[in-house]
Structure 1
Amino acid sequence: MKILLKNAREQKGLKTREVAQLLGIDQALISKFESGTRKPTREQISRLSQLLEIDFETLMIAWLKEKILYEIGDEEFALKALLLVEQEIQNSKKVISSGVLSSIQSILDEIEILKKQIQSFQHFDLHRISKILELEFISESNRVNGNSLTFQETKSVINEGLTISGKSMREHLEAINLQETVGYIKDLNQKKVSISEKELLTIHNLISRGIKPENSGKYKNDPLIIREMNLFFNWYDSNKTNLHPIILASEAYLKLIKISPFENGNIQIANLIMNWILVENAFVYATIKGNKNEIDEYLSILEECQNKNDSSIFVNFILRIEKENLLRAIELVSK
């Protein structure tokens, strides 16, 4: 932790005196934090994280680790005690997840009924609605990210290879790249390939091709990003069979948005991974619409999640979208 604090302060070009003044504490305390002879309080950790722009979770983990080591040191039974603590924490998380699940069980039940109804359709109908929903997902996802191609224009670019007058080459590339990326994920699903770092980097490379080639398929040049992404994949592997797929997909989205591992395309990546999880589990795309009202609502929900540290707000948002899109799929068959 002391290294994290010192490096972050020096990177921002601040002196210990300046940090102390900004936090309203004694300068000697900052020096002691950086030498490891004194530990900040939890409140001070929060304020240091904001001031020095250190990821709060990363700093908290370092703080808790040192706090635990200080308390238990080299006690003979320390490791056994820690294993029991880990087990209790995991059990507590399961109780929390169960609580969230019970509060949304009604809409999950409705979604399951709609999903089964769609699965009963003939193969021809399933293929047809899949193509339409896929195209809508590509068009709307790009619109959320500022692409001005309409649905019909996106369809013409992808299906007919047309060039739309007045639209930039980048907008054409975004449509083509996303279509190829969606196809790539479909192929992975058919092969039962699970989400991994290798596939995540490949997907980023596909959506960035010809747009930001220097950054495509590469994390930001930051050691903390690699650590955060390792934690993300550990979390995913631990929860992919425990959490309901829609909750898993929504939580994965929020985690990737928070980490923002790439120089560009983080929203697209989070959206693709969320929908990979959904489609992998026989759900339809949770397509966030690209009109101003829905974008404003989406941004407002993300902000509320962050401010309240409550992922259930976003989970409920995605549940609503998934239900709407399932109804949309049924409507397409009845036409």
Structure 2
Amino acid sequence: MTTSIPATKPDVATDRPVAELPPATGRARRRTITERNRPLWMLAPGGLLMVVVIVVPLLVALYISLLDLDQYTFRQWVQAPFIGLANYVEAVQVSPLLHSIGVSTSYAAIVTVATLPIGLAAALATQQGFRGRGLVRSVFLIPYVLPAFVVGTVWRIILQPDGVANGLLEKVGIHSGLWLNGPQSYWALIIVQTWASWPLIYLLALAGLQSVDPAVHEAAALDGAEWWVKLRYVIFPYLRGPVSLALLIAFLHNINSFTLPFVMFGVPSPHDVEVLPVLTYVESFQNFRFGLSAAMAVLSLLLIAIPLGIYLRAVKLDVGQEGKNP
């Protein structure tokens, strides 16, 4: 019986014969290509879901924003008159869109800044172990886990002219006036939204504190660092990433808040709290200007994309700088 010996060829450097490996068969080549492309196939279900849930509705909204679609042309909306950018022009020049953008942006920024110290203080207070810490952490999450409809209903009752808030203020000699109408409605919305959204900052800050290495705390204690120095130079650097993400999410959540102002103030909302989501709802489901409301929704999407793009750019720069460090 003869045994096949693999072909050899001389090595250029040593002139010794080197065994030549047999070429890959067709099945092995197909297996290599399949294994190399397998991650792309694994992304296909998620990509298909994103197309159906995000891309298709976005394209439909863009198309509707270019039509004169209202209650009279809704039955044949595919054949509705095409008016181009007229809805966008009307939204900017005629409708109160710019006022709503100013109200939504300013109130979202104030609430985001106000929730930052509250969330950080709560995270630092519950970081160390003590009796009943789990209960305290659970209580801190109550404002965030309550449905926005419940929060808006309860605070609407509290802020009534003869409600609990005015009753308590009158006992200390303060006549507050109306909270659900007029200029004070703006600050009422800020107070309620701050109460409802500060646990988000608390959660992400607490997650950042959990990532601090205990050896760092021990080293700071051995060096005799005071609490402010330890907080500034040891703890805050670990919180920069989680807190930045929390601020972005909180800002986007606040600027898109619909249920809370809708339940507290109803529609049409007072002029001082006419936020962008409520205005879009009124134009669509009360005035039946579906093309105009779609244009407002597209503009609000562009407004939201600005801070999101800034954050993603900053994260990309941070990753690049970390990669350059030895």
Scaled by the length of structure 2, the TM-score of the pair is 0.22
Greater CA radius of gyration, 1 or 2? Answer: 2
> Which structure exhibits the higher relative contact order, with contacts defined as CA atoms closer than 8 Å and separated by 6 or more residues?
2
